[in-house]
Amino acid sequence: MALIPGERVMEPVLHAQPVPVDAGMHGANVLVWQPSELTDIYREGVNCCVWRRGVSTSLSQWLGRVCAQHALQVVERVDARRVDLRPALRELPETAEREAWLEDLHLLLNLYADLFGVRGLGVRLTTLDREMCPRFHVDRVGVRLLCTYAGLGTEWLDNADVMRGGLGPQGQVLRPGGSVRRMERFDVALLKGEAWPGNAGNGVVHRSPVMGSQAHRRLLLCVDPVDIG
């Protein structure tokens, strides 16, 4: 990912050293360590692919301040041939950190467009102070990209831990003995939904994390394909 000019130190999110991809596989969920490996989302039986990245310390700290001080509500239809979120983020001070973040955002939008061959991108970049989707659920989409830049990451369940009959307002979704997984900050996650060809009844089951205070505000990027005419 992009660094602020002159910054070289990267702080691992979870592991001091990358582990083999096979060691990061949990049923239908796959952890990868290079953006090129996100093509694993096309593999049969995989419905969640997470690129686990390192965190730039100074950029992470700056984004934490942005999350605390600004109420970002960016909802844009973006042409993949002309990706530019600068106008949408003009309220933020022009700093090296903002440029580094914009570079990273543009990287992820272009990566998504190239990976799925789409021209229109539905982009939501929002500061959240409450749970947007507190219950475990599936999305009626093809593949959604999620990246949490500040705050707690999205939670999801491995297929083996899901009781799909419990999806709904009052149902029990987590199988006894199962565990809830949580994405790390800066993870880039591709989640297959119910609309992916052949994936009906198998969409990734996920939810927003519990947020109890201002300190737990989140800064979340969400990308879907859209028709832009």
Provide the residue-wise pLDDT of the chain in tens; the chain has 229 residues. Answer: 333 333 322 233 332 222 333 334 556 899 999 999 999 999 988 999 999 997 778 999 999 999 999 999 999 999 999 999 999 999 999 999 999 999 999 999 999 999 999 999 999 999 988 656 678 899 999 999 999 999 989 999 998 899 998 888 778 999 999 999 999 999 999 999 999 999 999 999 999 887 765 557 899 999 999 998 7
DSSP codes joined into one string, 92-125: S---HHHHHHHHHHHHHHHHHHHHHT-SEEEEEE
- Whether 174 maps to a domain, the answer reads no
pTM attached to this predicted model: 0.86
198: left (phi over 0), alpha (psi -120 to 50) or beta: left
Count the domains in the chain. 1
Sign of the CA dihedral running 213, 216, 219, 221: negative
Q: Which residues pair with 155 in a beta bridge?
A: 182, 207
| Domain span holding position 142 | 21-163+186-225
Q: Which residues pair with 49 in a beta bridge?
A: 30, 190
- Whether 220 maps to a domain, the answer reads yes
Would you state the structure tokens that stand for residue 211, as one six-digit string?
A: 């947020």
End-to-end CA separation in angstroms for the chain: 31
- Whether 9 maps to a domain, the answer reads no
| CATH (domain of 215) | 2.60.120
In three-state secondary structure terms, 6 is coil
